[in-house]
Structure 1
Amino acid sequence: MAVGQDGAGRKASDRKSPDRGGTEQPKSGQGGGVQSVERTFELLELMADAGGEVALSDLAEASALPLPTIHRIMRTLVSRGYARQQPSRRYALGPSLIRLGETASRALGSWARPYLAELTEATGETSNMAVLEGTQIVYVSQVPSQHSMRMFTEVGRRVDAHATAVGKAVMATMPADTVTQVLSRSSMAPQTERTITTIDDMRTELDKIREVGYALDDGEQEVGVRCYAVAVPDAPAGSAISISGPEGRMTRIAADEVIPLMQRLARELGTELSTTAEPS
């Protein structure tokens, strides 16, 4: 979402504001959402992009909405627990969002499972789906390998995005300034001696990922573990699917054979998710 633009892509002067005596009109844009609902979600997304806490003036600058409109929306969000006001008068995301997020993650994992099952059956290795939340990757679904020695990542686990193939795959789809914001809020701490720990080196890595169409974690998160990942296109949130396993077995899986399969499954999953997101 571009800073300084309305979520509908219009200038502030083009909008009918209820604070100036008008009535809230249904919006005929994407998704057919009512304008006030779209504005509410725009503010929540801006808060998330800012790391979960933001000043009212920053929301006004980033959204181009009138301050009275923002203040009214934030009062409603605070009253429902979806936002809270800090002693500093800054606004932060509220605890009521946790229940929504957990439920959405379970649903997302359920939709992804058939695609992951096909990937695991074809490769023999553990497959995962993960989404980017802030500076971390959250695993939302997994189909484990049948090997006795296999990779297991608990669904719901959070890890730093910079040290994972799924995190790099998602970041490779994002604008450069957004990537910089994400990495600037992260410590980029080394998980192993192979972890990428600087923004400049990550930019170089992301350029390579865009060129070849997939991301590789070659022992960057855990020694002896190798992982391929591709982003899920058109999904409502930044997400990726991956396969992972012990380095000895994974090196025998040719990227030029498995990546086309992963890209097809990611496209099909992305199509399903984007279709599901549309109202009937």
Structure 2
Amino acid sequence: MAEKAPGGVQSVERVFELLELITDAGGEVTLSELSSSTELPLPTIHRLLRTLVTLGYIRQLPNRRYALGPRLIRLGEGANQQLGALARPQLKSLVDRLGETANMAVLDSDMVIYVAQVPSLHSMRMFTEVGRRAHTHATGVGKAILAQLDDETVRGIVQRSGMPVATPKSIGDIESLLQDLKLIRERGYSIDEEEQEIGVRCFAMAVPNSPTPAAISVSGPVSRVDQSFAERAVPLLREAAQTISDELNHS
């Protein structure tokens, strides 16, 4: 558990500890699993869970396990919108300097969800709707996020979400994905090599020390987004990712 904030309200700290423990466990837990993960007494856990169930932030499943509730979705969507708003100036700067579409996405329940986009001015351009969900293994942002996680966590995400191949160039098996992630860690950025859409290449980079796993990317037609583009884009992506990180951690 995080260190108690001076002057904090203990019951509020306990509620958020339980919500974070359930999230870390993959979204659902038993009462005994929760009890073994925290020093809170069992009657306290039970009382807090009952309150959260009544409010809709937790739900009790027919098998008596506890799962994150639907009211949290609204909070998450609001937070994602704010994250996107915070990143937009940096995305706009990338578009102004590189001429291609810039995106930001976060990891959300084993998928990536796009939280911001600034489109290119070119008539032929990459377009992704804000709020769209995509698989992690077939997107530049998704692979940049996965590369920040350990292999066991990656295996869990991919096993739960599946690995559909969007194009003949998509990675379709876990071992090939882990090899690609190893390369991404060494290189410091990921490449979606027509894996999401034929004719589109994307360079992406994780936002360091983000409170929720996040990444930014620039993407466009392979005819324009080539090796010389990469040489210009990678330093600018790194700079933008660091600026977003600094703003997130000092806001």
Q: What TM bracket, shorter-length normalisation?
A: over 0.9
Counterparts of residues 193-272 of structure 1 (less than 5 Å) = 193-251=168-226, 253-272=228-247
d(CA) in 1 for partners of 2:37 and 2:194? Answer: 39
**1:49–1:134 Cα contact (<8 Å) kept:** no
Letter paired with 2:150 = P
TM-superposed deviation, 1:65: 4.0
Match of 1:114 in 2: 89
Tell me: CA distance 1:76–1:181, structure 2 relative to 1, closer, same or farther (3 Å).
same
Number of corresponding residues: 251
Displacement of 1:72 in angstroms is 2.0
Q: State, as a whole percentage, how many aligned pairs show the same letter.
A: 55
Query: Does the 8 Å contact 1:119/1:127 carry over to 2?
Result: yes
Q: Residue 24 of structure 2 corresponds to which residue in structure 1?
A: 49
Residue 124 (structure 2) aligned to one of 140, 143, 149:
149
Query: Cα gap change, 1:266/1:33 in structure 2, threshold over 3 Å: closer, same or farther?
Result: farther
Shift of 1:35: 4.4
1:167 maps to what in 2? 142
Distance (whole Å) between structure 2 residues aligned to residue 194 and residue 258 of structure 1: 23
With structure 2 as the length reference, what TM-score do the two structures score? 0.93
- What letter matches 1:141 in structure 2? A
CA, structure 1 residues 184+118, in 2 after alignment: closer, same or farther (shift >3 Å)? same
Q: CA RMSD in A?
A: 1.8
Matched to 1:219, the amino acid is: E
Aligned to 2:211, the other structure's residue is in SS state: coil
**Equivalents in 1 of 2:156, 2:17: separation in Å?**
18
Aligned to 1:16: none
Task: String of CA shifts for 1:96-126, please: whole Å, max 9, x gaps.
Answer: 1121111111111111100000001111000
In 2, Cα distance between equivalents of 1:65 and 1:221: 45
**Residues 1:37 and 2:31 aligned together:** no
The answer for unaligned runs of 5 or more in structure 2 is none
Matched with 1:17 is none
Identify which range, 250-259 or 129-138, moves more after superposition: 250-259
Give the aligned partner of residue 153 of structure 2: 178
The correspondence of residues 51-130 of structure 1 with structure 2, limited to 5 A, is: 51-63=26-38, 65-130=40-105
* TM, length-normalised to structure 1: 0.84
* Structure 1, unpaired ranges of 5+: 1-6, 10-26
